[in-house]
A = this chain, B = another copy of it.
Amino acid sequence: MEFSSKLLEKAVNEMAQLPGIGKRTALRLVLHLLKQPKEQTQFLAESLQTMRNEVQYCKSCHNISDVELCEICCNEKRNHQIVCVVEDIRDVMAIENTGQFKGIYHVLGGKISPIDGVGPSQLNIVTLVEKVSSGRVAEVIFALSSTMEGDTTNFYIFRQIQQYEVKTSTIARGISVGDELEYADEITLGRSILNRIPFENTMKSS
A residues near B (Cβ < 8 Å) are: 1-8, 10-11, 13-15, 17-21, 25, 27-34, 38, 40-56, 58, 63-66, 70-72, 88-90, 92-93, 96-97
Contacts and interface: CB of A to CB of B under 8 A. Distances in A.
30 contacts: A2-B97, A4-B58, A4-B63, A4-B65, A4-B70, A4-B71, A4-B92, A5-B55, A5-B66, A7-B47, A7-B50, A7-B51, A8-B51, A11-B47, A11-B50, A14-B43, A15-B44, A21-B29, A30-B48, A31-B88, A31-B90, A33-B52, A38-B52, A41-B49, A41-B51, A42-B52, A44-B48, A45-B45, A45-B46, A45-B48
B70 A27 contact: no
A158 B149 CA distance: 62
Contacts of A50: 7, 10-11
Nearest to A58: B4
B29 A19 contact: yes
Given A20-B25, A31-B88, A5 B65 contact: yes
A18 B88 CA distance: 24
A97 B29 CA distance: 21
Q: Which secondary structure characterizes the binding site on chain A?
A: helix
A196 B114 CA distance: 59
A89 B55 contact: no
Nearest to A107: B4
A4 B89 contact: yes
Contact of A30 (B4, B20, B51, B72): B51
Contact of A96 (B2, B18, B34, B54): B2
Nearest to A45: B45
A34 B56 CA distance: 11
Nearest to A64: B5
Contacts of A45: 44-46, 48-49
Contacts of A33: 18, 48, 51-52
Contacts of A43: 14
